[in-house]
Structure 1
Amino acid sequence: MVSTFPNPSSVDLSRIRLSIRSLQPQLIEWRRRLHQQPELGFQEKLTAEFVSQKLQEWGIEHQTGIAQTGIVASIKGKKLPTDAINPVSTDSPLATEKVLAIRADMDALPIQELNEVPYKSQHDGVMHACGHDGHTAIALGTAYYLQQHCQDFSGTVKIIFQPAEESPGGAKPMIEAGVLKNPDVDAIIGLHLWNNLPLGTVGVRSGALMAAVECFNCKILGKGGHGALPHQTVDSVVVAAQIVNALQTIVARNVNPIDSAVVTVGELHAGSKRNVIADTARMSATVRYFNPNFKGFFHQRVEQIIAGICQSQGAKYDLDYWSLYPPVINDVKMAELVRSVAEEVVETPVGIVPECQTMAAEDMSFFLEEVPGCYFFLGSANPEKDLAYPHHHPRFDFDETALGMGVEIFVRCVEKFFS
C-alpha cells in the first residue's frame, strides 16, 4: 500500500512565519542541551534551572519549585481585547480577560541511549526517549516568541513546565498546587512529538485521544510440594495460568465491541525448580481503556475473576489494584481550534490525521478533567534520516524540523483563541 502521508523531504516550511523559522537554530540548541542532561521524574533540577534561566533572561514572570521541579510562566498580551474597544456589561464573559495554558513535560526515562550523536545523553542509564526535551524546547520557543510579540494577542498565557509525566505523574500535584488558578485558566493545549506519524502531519481529534491506565499486582497463595505429588498441593502456577486466561474474557465478553480496552499481564513469576510445585505466584498487569464510564469496572471484574478461580482451586490471593491516569479526552471546540490552526501550518487534507488514538496514556488527562482543552500529536518521524524509532526505544530520536512547527502551531492557537 502506498502511503498517503506527505514525504518529510517535501514538507512546505513556508507556512511557518519567518520570525519562527529564524528561531529554529535556537530551538535545536536548547533541545540538544536538554537531551544531553536528561533527568527522571521529580529530579529535573538541571532542566528546571535551564528553563528558569531562559525565562529570566527574557523578562518573563515565572514561578519555580511547583510540585518540586515544575515551573509556570505567565505572559500577558498587550493587544486591546474586543470588550475594551466595544464596552460590554460586567456580566458578559467578554468582560473577563481569558487565560490559555500551554503544557509541556520535562522528564526523561531510565533507558541507556544507543544513539551515537554529538548530543548523546551524558547521564548513564537515563535518556530522553520520548521527546520531552523537544516539548520543553517548543514551550521555551513559544514563551520567547509570545514575549517578543505580546502586542499581537490579548489575555494571558500560562506556560506549564511539568515534571514526572512518565511516572509517577506530575500533572496532578501541579494542579493541587494551584497552577490553574490566580488567574483561573479557561482552556489548555499541549502537544506530543509523535514518531508514529511522519513529519508534516498533525494528529488531532475531539473526544478520547489516549487511554486511561490502571495497574495491579497480584500474589497467588497456594500450597507447595513435590512435582510428582500434585494431589498434596495447591499449585499456584496452575491457578495463575487460569487467571491469566480468564482475564482476557473481560474485554472479549464484558466490554461492548464498539469500545476498546486492553488487559495485559506483563509479568508472571513463580517457582525455582522443575520438580517443585510453587506455593506462590506473582503477576503484574496493566489495564487500558478510552471510555471514562469504565472507571471502577475493571477493578471489580479483575477481583471477581481472581477470587472465583482461587476459591475453586483452594488458593488465596493478595490483590493491589490502582488507577494511574484517566483517559485523555479532548474538548470538541478546543480540538476544532487546534485542527483549524494545524490546517494552516501543514498540508491538508493528508496532513491532518483525525483517527490517531493510542492505548498509550498521558497525565495531561488530569488537566483536561479540570478545564476544556486539546492534546494533539505532532508528526516527527523521518525514515529518510533514520529518525523513525518508536518512543521509549534506546535509539529514539526525531526530526528537529518539528520544533519550529510546534512553536508555530502554539502561537497561532494563542492568537486565534484570544481573537
Structure 2
Amino acid sequence: MKTHFRCSATAASGEDMTGKEKAKIKRIEDIRGLAKKYYRDVVELRRYFHIHPELSKREFNTQRKIIEVLGELDEMKIRKVGKTGVIADLKGGRPGGTIAVRADMDALAIDDECGRPYQSQNKGACHACGHDGHVAMLLGTARILHGFRRDIAGNIRFIFQPSEEEVADGSGAEAIIEDGGLKGVDAIIGAHLWQPVRSGVVGISAGPMMAASDEFEIRIEGKAGHASMPHQTVDSILTASEIVIALNTIVGRDVDPMKQAVVSVGVFNSGRVYNAIAGEAVLKGTIRTLDEEVRSQVFTHIKKIVEHTCEMTGAHCDIKKNACTYVVDNDPKIAAIVLKAGREMIDGKAHPIDPFMSSEDFSYYMRKIPGCFIFVGVGNREKGIIYPQHHPKYDIDESAMLYGMEVMANAALKLLENFR
C-alpha cells in the first residue's frame, strides 16, 4: 500500500488552528480512514469486473453488480439509465448544490493477456483501458461519501456510464444526458487511471486535457486488372499508399508547430488476389486535436491530399468524417478546487500535467455543465505495470485506487462548499 503524504495542516498546533481548519483536518483524516477501510473490497471489485468484462452497450452484468453493491448503502436512490448504465443519488443532511462523479464501465474488444489470476474469462473482451478500476473506485468513493451524508450540504450523483469506447453510433455520455443524468447538476468530475503517469501521482490541470476525436474513412475507386498489365489499370493500392504517406505530412507541415494534432491511419484494406491489381481500397483513421480551428484545418488538408492524389492517378474517391468526441476542457474554477482537494490528500503528488492526445466522451458532459477530468497514475515499472492503455497485457497498480478514491471524495465535498 502507498505511503500517504500528509496535509501540511496536520503539523500545525491544535491551539493555533481555527474551528474551520480543525474541521478540514478531521474531514481529511476521516476520508483516509474510510478509504483504507474499503480498499480491499475495492480491489476485489476491480478484479471481479476484470474477470467479467463486457463490451459497449452490453454491460448488463456490470450494471447488475453495481446496483447490488450500491444497494447495500441505505438512503441511496438508484436507477438504470442509458440501457446499461446506473445513476445513484446521495442526498445530504442539509440543502445545497449537486455534484456528479462519473466512471465509465465498458471493455475493449481485445483478448486479455495480462497473465494474472483475474485475467478475463470473456473471450474477445478485456478491460485494457482501466474502466474496471474506474467502476470499483467510484463504488469505493460512494461508500466513503455515504459516511459523510449527514454532514453534506447538498447532493452527490454517482454516474456509472456505459459505452465510452464505442461512440460512433452514440456514446454512453449522450445516452446519460438524454435520460436526464445532468438534470439539476451544478458540476461534474471524473478520473482516468492512466499508465503514462507514474503511480502515486494525480494530474489535475485547467484547460484542454484530452483531444477531440474524429474518425475518417477514405474509399478509393480505381480500375482492376491483371498484375502483369498495370498500364491497363488504376492501382487503388498504390493510390492509397501515396495518400497514407502524404497524410503524415499534415501535422509537420500544415499545422502550426505551437499547436497539437495527430493524424493516424489504422485501417488499410484492399485486394484479395496476389496477381491482380485491386480496384478498390479503404482507409480508416483518426484525427486528434486540442483546438477547434485546427480540427477543421486538418480535415480540409486531408480532403485536398486525397482529391489531388486521386486526380493525379485517375482514381475516384469518397471521403467521410464522423465527429466522435469534443475536447475535454477543464473549467479553471472547478480544476482549481479539485487541485486543492488533491493537494490536501496527497500534497506534492497532486499537480498540473500536460494534456494527452487520447479522447474521452466525458467531453459531452462538459458541453452542458462545468467539470474537471483528472488522471490517476497507475504506471509502476517495479511491479511490471509497463504496458499502455489498449494493450492486451495492460494492468494497473491497484494501490492507485486508494488515493484516487481519497482525492475524488475530497474534491466532491469541496465542490459542494462552493455551490451552496
Question: How high is the TM-score relative to the length of structure 1?
Answer: 0.88
For residues 253-264 of structure 1, the aligned pairs below 5 Å read 253-264=253-264
Q: C-alpha offsets along residues 199-242 of structure 1, whole Å, 9 cap, x if unaligned?
A: 21011211111111111121111112233433322222222122
Report how far residue 25 of structure 1 moved. 1.4
Report how far residue 275 of structure 1 moved. 4.3
Corresponding residue of 2:88: 73
**1:302 aligned onto 2:294:** no
Q: 1:219 touches 1:318 (CA, 8 Å); kept in 2?
A: yes
**1:229 aligned onto 2:221:** no
Letter in 1 for 2:76: E
**Structure 2: how far apart are the matches of 1:14 and 1:253?**
48
For residues 7-406 of structure 1, the aligned pairs below 5 Å read 11-12=3-4, 17-79=32-94, 97-168=96-167, 169-181=171-183, 184-348=184-348, 351-406=349-404
Corresponding residue of 1:85: none
CA distance 1:246–1:383, change in 2 (3 Å): closer
More off after superposition, 297-306 vs 64-73: 297-306
Which residues of structure 2 form unaligned runs of 5+? 8-30
Report how far residue 361 of structure 1 moved. 0.8
More off after superposition, 293-302 vs 313-322: 293-302
**Structure 2: how far apart are the matches of 1:138 and 1:318?**
44
Report how far residue 100 of structure 1 moved. 0.7
**Structure 2: how far apart are the matches of 1:188 and 1:376?**
11
Letter in 2 for 1:257: P
Q: C-alpha offsets along residues 81-108 of structure 1, whole Å, 9 cap, x if unaligned?
A: 6xxxxxxxxxxxxxxx311110001111
Letter in 2 for 1:48: Q
Q: 2:59 touches 2:105 (CA, 8 Å); kept in 1?
A: yes
Letter in 2 for 1:393: H
Question: 1:150 is paired with a residue of what secondary structure?
Answer: coil
Report how far residue 145 of structure 1 moved. 1.8
CA distance 1:13–1:136, change in 2 (3 Å): farther
**Structure 2: how far apart are the matches of 1:212 and 1:384?**
33
Corresponding residue of 2:416: 418
Q: C-alpha offsets along residues 140-189 of structure 1, whole Å, 9 cap, x if unaligned?
A: 111122222112321111110000111132111111221101xx111110
Q: 2:6 touches 2:347 (CA, 8 Å); kept in 1?
A: no
Question: 1:317 is paired with a residue of what secondary structure?
Answer: strand
More off after superposition, 330-339 vs 219-228: 219-228
Q: 1:204 touches 1:356 (CA, 8 Å); kept in 2?
A: no
Letter in 2 for 1:23: Y
Q: 1:225 touches 1:276 (CA, 8 Å); kept in 2?
A: yes
**Structure 2: how far apart are the matches of 1:236 and 1:383?**
45
**Structure 1: how far apart are the matches of 2:343 and 2:55?**
35
Q: How many residues align?
A: 391
Question: 1:155 is paired with a residue of what secondary structure?
Answer: strand
Report how far residue 14 of structure 1 moved. 5.8
Q: 1:11 touches 1:199 (CA, 8 Å); kept in 2?
A: no
**Structure 1: how far apart are the matches of 2:44 and 2:267?**
40
Which residues of structure 1 form unaligned runs of 5+? 1-8, 82-96
Identity of aligned residues (%): 39
Letter in 2 for 1:172: E
**Structure 1: how far apart are the matches of 2:237 and 2:113?**
37
**Structure 2: how far apart are the matches of 1:382 and 1:243?**
39
Q: 1:192 touches 1:377 (CA, 8 Å); kept in 2?
A: yes
Question: 1:346 is paired with a residue of what secondary structure?
Answer: helix
Letter in 2 for 1:388: I
Report how far residue 322 of structure 1 moved. 0.8
Letter in 1 for 2:124: G
**Structure 2: how far apart are the matches of 1:244 and 1:387?**
33
Question: 1:152 is paired with a residue of what secondary structure?
Answer: coil
Q: 1:64 touches 1:72 (CA, 8 Å); kept in 2?
A: yes
Report how far residue 397 of structure 1 moved. 1.5
Q: 1:105 touches 1:132 (CA, 8 Å); kept in 2?
A: yes
Corresponding residue of 1:4: none
More off after superposition, 403-412 vs 12-21: 12-21
Question: 1:197 is paired with a residue of what secondary structure?
Answer: strand
Letter in 1 for 2:174: K
